[in-house]
Amino acid sequence: MKKEVLRIQGIQKSFDSQAKATQVLKGINFNVHEGEYVAISGPSGCGKSTLLNILGLLDTPDTGEYHIDGSLVSGMNGDQRAEIRSRRIGFVFQAFNLLDDETVVDNVALPLKYRGDNKLQRQARANECLEMVGLADKAGLFPNQLSGGQQQRVSIARALAADSGIMLVDEPTGNLDSKNGDAVMALLDKLNKQGTTIILVTHDPRYAQMAHRQIQLLDGKVLSDVKKGDASVENVFKGAVEKSEEEHA
């Protein structure tokens, strides 16, 4: 049995909007083991991104517990969370979020800067990561000199840079055409095979199926949590999702 890296229990989160509180997450429980490839999917507004923000320590839950590597991280202050983010978590965003005014290599090296690595170490590691995503020759360019697919690969290299082991990926193909989307997903698959734990948020069932495990959210709750190959369960939940979507419609 591989080591448990993430565990969330009873996570709830509400947002105040126009004097009315909207509960986005209504008690989420699951855990993730080292090397797992988990896809979180669900319809728009089901709470996928909010959950990913909480998993990435960018946001805090209202209630519930969140453990990383067995340590309780919910309730930590901003600096403690930043420390864990810099060492344990890498992000890949739908909009890439590369810094336009920094070169590709500097973008990739960014997480290392806040970890305290010196410039030489940062450059070396950033080049290594760019090599891993096949963009070593683009190190000196600026992001807007790259295609969308290349930009997303740079953003994956950046998530790899801190060697954090956990990669949170938010709709990585949302801004890409299918060819580039496929290439990015293939890269994520490859990284997972090399040992990176990946939690992927996507609404594309084709890409969700590439994960070893799919967590389906609906209305702020886990509708299903299915491992690859468990077909019977998969079909049961597939039916439930379709039924729910019809009700919403």
Which parts of this chain interact with another protein (CB under 8 A)? 49, 53, 56, 58-59, 78-79, 82-87, 89-91, 93-95, 97-103, 105-106, 110-111, 113-115, 140, 142, 144, 158, 162, 170-171, 174-175
Kindly tell me which of 94 and 150 has the beta carbon lying closer to another protein: 94
* Cβ atoms 58, 2 nearer than 8 A: no
Kindly tell me which of 84 and 240 has the beta carbon lying closer to another protein: 84
Minimum distance, C-beta of residue 112 to another protein, in the bound complex (Å): 9
Kindly tell me which of 204 and 237 has the beta carbon lying closer to another protein: 204
Distance CA 91, CA 223 (A): 25
Minimum distance, C-beta of residue 147 to another protein, in the bound complex (Å): 13
Say which amino acid occupies 83: E
Minimum distance, C-beta of residue 74 to another protein, in the bound complex (Å): 15
Distance CA 156, CA 72 (A): 27
Q: Which residue has the tokens 């806040």?
A: 114
With 0-12 / 13-18 / 19 or more C-beta atoms within 10 angstroms meaning exposed / middle / buried, residue 195 is exposed
Helix 78-88 to helix 104-115 angle (10° resolution) is 130
Minimum distance, C-beta of residue 232 to another protein, in the bound complex (Å): 36
Kindly tell me which of 62 and 189 has the beta carbon lying closer to another protein: 62
